[in-house]
A and B are shown apart, each in its own frame.
Chain A
C-alpha cells in the first residue's frame, strides 16, 4: 500500500476544479497551474525513487483487495511515463502561457489542461481495464474541448471527425471489455493475466486480443491513423504539442501493457500482427512526411512514424526490445513536444505554415535554428543524443529475432525522418528572408524558455543514457516477466 500513487491523479483534478471558480482571474489561474505542475513533478520523482528502491508499488482503493477493488499499480514503466508526462506537461503549460492567448485562457483552457493530465496519469497508473476505459474518456473529453476551444471553422470540422472516431473506438472498447468479462469473469489486469494463462490463449481470447489491439491502435494512430494528420492540424500549437507528446503515447502504453502482461501466450498471432501493422504504419507515415510541404502535416506524419517504430519494438517482445520501447517512448514524448514548440516559433515568426513561403530565419533566430537542427539529429537517433539508445535496442533485437524486414523498414524510416526534417530546416532557416513577421521579444523569450528546458533534457538523456538505462532496465524486466507484476498486485 502506498497512498502516494493517487496524488498524480488528485493534484491535477483538484487544480482543475479550483480553476473553474477563477474564470476571469487569469494571472491567478496561471500561478495555481504552475504550482500544480511542479507538485506533479515532485510527486513523480518520489514515485520513481520508491519504485527503484522498493519495487512495484500498489494502492488498493478503499482497502479492497484485488481483484475486488480497483488497484493502482506503479511499476517502473508506469512511473517513468508519469514522470515524463509531468515534465512535458509542465513545459506545455509554460508554453501555453506565452502562446495561447487571453481569449482561450478566459474560457477554461487551464481547467481542460489539468483534466487532460488527470486522464493521462490515470491511464498510466491504473491496474483495472474498465478504469482504464474511464481514464481514457477523461482525457478524451478534455481533448475534445481543447481541440475545439476557439471555435474556428477548421477546428469545428476537425473536432467533429475526431469525436466520431473516438466515440466509435470507445464503443468498441466497451464491447471488448464485455467479451473479456464474459470469457474470464474479471477486469483486474493482473487477475486477467492469470485467468488468460490458465484458460490458454486461443479462439475467443485471440479474438478479444485483436479487438483490443484495434481499439488501442485507433487511439495510438497505429495503422488506423487516418484521423490524426487533420485533427492535429486544427488546434493552436501549445495544444498540438500536448497532444503529439501525450495522447498517442497513452494508446501505445495500453498496447504495451496489454500485450506484455495479458495476451502473451500466442505471440505468433498477436505480435506478428502488431509487427506488420507497425511496418505499414512506418511506410505510410514516411509517405506522408515526404509528400507535404506544410509544416504541421510533416510534423504530424513524423508522429505517425514514431508510433510505428515503437510498435515495432513491442512486436518483437524480447527484454532488449522492451527496454528500447521504454527508452524510446520517454525520448519521443520529450522530443515531439520540443518539435512542436519550435514549430510554433517558426510559424509565429513567418506567419504561415507553408514551407515554400518561409526562408532565412537563421539570421533572426539562430538559437531556434540550431536547436531545431540538433533536435532533428536526436529524432533520427544520432549517437550522443537521446533517440539513439532506444532505437539501437529495438533494431538490434529486431535483427536477432529474425524480424529483419521490419528492422530494415525501421532503419529506413529514420532516414525519412532525417530527410523530412532537414528539408524543413533548410527551407525555413536558410536562403533569403521571405516573410518578416516580428515576434515580440518578450513573447519570444517566454516561448523559448520551455523549449530550452526540454532541449536540455534531450541532450542530458542522450549523454546520461547510462544512468537513465538503469531505470529503463528495471522497467523492461517487469514488462518481459509478467509474473513480477502479477505477484506484486495479487500477493495477499
Chain B
C-alpha cells in the first residue's frame, strides 16, 4: 500500500515541479498546490498505513492509526490554505495593476 501511495506522491511532485517551472502565474499557483498535496500525503504515508481504528477512543479498538501525523497534516493544511489564498489574491493584484501573468515578461523594468 505504501509503495502505491509513494508512487502517487512522486507523480504529484513531478507534475507540481513541472508546473512551477512554467511561464504562466496561474500554472505556478496550481503547481504549488499540487506540491502541498504531495507533502501532506507524504506525511500520512511516512507514518505508516497499517490498518487500525480511526483515532477516537469511543471506538474501543485494539489498535488505532497514528494520530500525530493527522494533527500535523491538519496544521499544515490550514497554513498552506492561508498562504495560497494570499498568493492568489496577490497574483490577481499583479494582474490588475501590472497586467502580469507571464512571469518571464515581468522582469527587467524598474520603477
| Interface-facing stretch out of A151-159, A309-317, A436-444 | A151-159
Please name all residues of chain B whose beta carbon is closer than 8 Å to the beta carbon of A151 when the two chains form the complex. Answer: 93, 97
- Tally of chain B residues near chain A (CB < 8 A): 38
**0/1 per residue, A127-139, Cβ < 8 Å to B?**
0001001100100
Pairwise interchain contact A154-B111, C-beta atoms closer than 8 A: yes
Pairwise interchain contact A141-B111, C-beta atoms closer than 8 A: no
Please name all residues of chain B whose beta carbon is closer than 8 Å to the beta carbon of A181 when the two chains form the complex. Answer: 43, 46-47, 68-69, 72
**0/1 per residue, A368-381, Cβ < 8 Å to B?**
00000000000000
Main secondary structure of the interface of B (DSSP, over half): helix
Pairwise interchain contact B46-A182, C-beta atoms closer than 8 A: yes
Beyond A141-B82, A168-B32, whether A157 also contacts B94 by CB under 8 A is yes
Please name all residues of chain B whose beta carbon is closer than 8 Å to the beta carbon of A182 when the two chains form the complex. Answer: 46-48
A164 to B25, CA, bound (A): 10
Q: Does B83 count as interface, using CB distance less than 8 angstroms?
A: yes
Please name all residues of chain A whose beta carbon is closer than 8 Å to the beta carbon of B100 when the two chains form the complex. Answer: 156-157, 160
Interface residue ranges of B61-111 to A (CB < 8 Å):
68-69, 72, 75-76, 79-80, 82-83, 86-87, 90-91, 93-94, 97-98, 100, 103, 106-107, 110-111
Q: Does B30 count as interface, using CB distance less than 8 angstroms?
A: no
Pairwise interchain contact A168-B35, C-beta atoms closer than 8 A: yes
| Interface-facing stretch out of A171-179, A190-198, A393-401, A476-484 | A171-179
A157 to B43, CA, bound (A): 32
Q: Does A163 count as interface, using CB distance less than 8 angstroms?
A: yes
B47 to chain A, nearest CB (A): 6
A177 to B72, CA, bound (A): 10
A179 to B69, CA, bound (A): 12
Select from chain B the residue with minimum beta-carbon distance to A230.
B107
A171 to B32, CA, bound (A): 9
Which among B43, B100, B107 has the highest number of chain A CB atoms within 10 Å?
Answer: B43
Interface residue ranges of B16-43 to A (CB < 8 Å):
20, 25, 28, 32, 35-36, 38-40, 42-43
Pick the residue among A134, A141, A160 that contacts B90 (CB under 8 A): A160
Pairwise interchain contact B72-A171, C-beta atoms closer than 8 A: no
Select from chain B the residue with minimum beta-carbon distance to A68.
B68
A168 to B106, CA, bound (A): 20
Pairwise interchain contact A167-B39, C-beta atoms closer than 8 A: no
Please report the number of residue pairs spanning A and B whose Cβ atoms sit closer than 8 angstroms: 98
Pairwise interchain contact B87-A163, C-beta atoms closer than 8 A: yes
Select from chain A the residue with minimum beta-carbon distance to B34.
A171
Select from chain A the residue with minimum beta-carbon distance to B25.
A160
A320 to chain B, nearest CB (A): 38
Pairwise interchain contact B111-A152, C-beta atoms closer than 8 A: yes
A182 to B35, CA, bound (A): 20
A178 to B47, CA, bound (A): 7
Q: Does A255 count as interface, using CB distance less than 8 angstroms?
A: no
B68 to chain A, nearest CB (A): 8
Pick the residue among B25, B43, B47 that contacts A174 (CB under 8 A): B43
Please name all residues of chain A whose beta carbon is closer than 8 Å to the beta carbon of B40 when the two chains form the complex. Answer: 174
Pairwise interchain contact B111-A137, C-beta atoms closer than 8 A: no
A151 to B92, CA, bound (A): 12
Main secondary structure of the interface of A (DSSP, over half): helix
Pairwise interchain contact A174-B39, C-beta atoms closer than 8 A: yes
Q: Does A292 count as interface, using CB distance less than 8 angstroms?
A: no
A84 to chain B, nearest CB (A): 27
Q: How large is the interface on A (under 10, 10 to 19, 20 to 34, 35 or more residues)?
A: 20 to 34
**0/1 per residue, A5-46, Cβ < 8 Å to B?**
000000000000000000000000000000000000000000
Which among A157, A177, A178 has the highest number of chain B CB atoms within 10 Å?
Answer: A178
Please name all residues of chain B whose beta carbon is closer than 8 Å to the beta carbon of A171 when the two chains form the complex. Answer: 32, 35-36, 38-39
A232 to chain B, nearest CB (A): 15
Q: Does A148 count as interface, using CB distance less than 8 angstroms?
A: yes
Select from chain A the residue with minimum beta-carbon distance to B16.
A171
Pairwise interchain contact B43-A167, C-beta atoms closer than 8 A: no
Pick the residue among B20, B43, B94 that contacts A164 (CB under 8 A): B20
Select from chain A the residue with minimum beta-carbon distance to B48.
A182
A122 to chain B, nearest CB (A): 14
Pairwise interchain contact B20-A148, C-beta atoms closer than 8 A: no
Please name all residues of chain B whose beta carbon is closer than 8 Å to the beta carbon of A168 when the two chains form the complex. Answer: 20, 32, 35
Q: Does A227 count as interface, using CB distance less than 8 angstroms?
A: no
Select from chain B the residue with minimum beta-carbon distance to A144.
B86
Please name all residues of chain A whose beta carbon is closer than 8 Å to the beta carbon of B32 when the two chains form the complex. Answer: 164, 167-168, 171
Please name all residues of chain A whose beta carbon is closer than 8 Å to the beta carbon of B76 when the two chains form the complex. Answer: 133, 174
A145 to B82, CA, bound (A): 12
Pairwise interchain contact A153-B43, C-beta atoms closer than 8 A: no
Beyond A141-B86, A159-B90, A177-B43, whether A153 also contacts B98 by CB under 8 A is yes
Pairwise interchain contact A153-B111, C-beta atoms closer than 8 A: yes
Please name all residues of chain B whose beta carbon is closer than 8 Å to the beta carbon of A178 when the two chains form the complex. Answer: 39, 42-43, 45-47, 69
A to B CB contacts below 8 Å, 21 in the list: A130-B72, A141-B86, A148-B90, A151-B97, A157-B106, A160-B103, A160-B106, A163-B86, A163-B90, A164-B32, A167-B83, A171-B38, A172-B39, A174-B42, A174-B43, A175-B39, A178-B43, A178-B69, A179-B46, A181-B43, A182-B46
Lowest 7 A-B CB distances belong to which pairs? A182-B46, A178-B46, A174-B39, A178-B43, A156-B94, A178-B42, A171-B35
